[in-house]
Each structure stands twice: as C-alpha cells, then as structure tokens.
Amino acid sequence: MEALLRANLPAQIGLVISNDPAASGLVTAKAQGIATLAINHRQFETRAAFEVALAQALDQYQADYIVLAGFMRVLTAEFVNRYYGKLINIHPSLLPAFPGLHTHRQALASGVRIHGCSVHFVTPQLDHGPIIAQAAVAVHNNDTEDSLAARVLQQEHQIYPQVLRWLCADRVSINAQGGVDIANASAPHGALQSPAIAQIN
C-alpha cells in the first residue's frame, strides 16, 4: 500500500480500510491526508456480517476500483460478485502456480527456475481471476524464502502501480473469453531464461 501511495498515481485515493485496527498502513495513509477506516473482523459473528459493514463503507465512496494490498481475508463469492471488475489484487507468484499462502516456500520446494508476481481481477475462486500483468524473477540455487520474496517484492512495486495507471486510463478490460485486454500494450521481444542459456552454451 505504501508503494502505491508513493507512486503518484493519476487517481484520488478515497479511503484506506483495514480489518486490523493496529495496521501501520492506517497511520501512513492518515499522515498523507487520506481517509482511513478500521473494520475489525473479530467484532463480527460471521464473515457475511463483516462483509456487510465493509460493503457499506465502500459504497459510500463509490470507488471505481477497490485495490487489495496486504488484505489477507478471503472474500465470499457474494461480495466478490458484487464488485466484479472493480476488485484488483496482487499475488506473489506467477499464477495459476502457487495460489494461497507461502508462495515462496512453495516455489523453492517445487524446484521452479522462475518465480514472480501477478496482478489480477478478483473472482470467487481464490487467486484465479483474470490476470492483468505479471513479472518474473530467476530463482537462485542459494535462495531462501526471504531473499526470493525480496526480489519478487521489487517487481510487485513496479507492476502494481503500472496496472493502476492503465486502469485509470481505461486501458484494461475483461474480454468475452474471460481474459484481459490492455489497449496499446506490447509484449516483450525476448524471454526470461533461467539459467541464462547464453552463459552455458
């Protein structure tokens, strides 16, 4: 969230919400003059009741997009469908690989050579929404979860603000096939190879 605030996006950030009243992001946002709200999920008897309160807060601001950043609560299908096409999330893996938690641990255990992050629209199926953008990093033989997570985080801080800029410019849409179209987007000419084949030929 702090990286998004630093990105000088061409948008008004209307509200920062956390389900944790002690979240440092609330302090950061408030210091920048952004409205904040804590909705403690522990104070609600059911997930549905928590989401009713969350939806009421969101609807007051009539936001074009709801951007998840470090929000670790699984949202119900009813809530997600209510905001379909408006909910954006970033996940620390190259989806559809390694959904859920502990993605870097999963990547290291599986032996993949390339890992990364994905920005996607949120759908009821966890971490399976239409992918807007991805960034990849090589996995090193001496990587730990922390070292791999740090390199992936660098890429998260690049692609998430960029996706939000595209959204602000109305360049992103979900097509009839359920994929994502980005107006005037170009694909890279090369490929990320790990290990670098040119070095071992």
Q: What does DSSP assign to residue 175?
A: -
Q: Contact 87/128 with Cβ under 8 angstroms?
A: no
**How far lies 116's CA from each of 32, 33, 56, 159, 192, in Å?**
30, 33, 34, 11, 12
Q: 87 - beta bridge partners? A: 66
Q: 136 - beta bridge partners? A: 116
Q: 114 - beta bridge partners? A: 138
d(CA 180, CA 137): 22
Q: Contact 179/130 with Cβ under 8 angstroms?
A: yes
- Indicate the helix (H) or strand (E) that contains 67: strand 66-67
Active site (annotated) includes residue 102: no
Catalytic residue among 91, 104, 120, 157: 91
Q: Contact 144/151 with Cβ under 8 angstroms?
A: no
Point out the residues that are catalytic.
Answer: 91
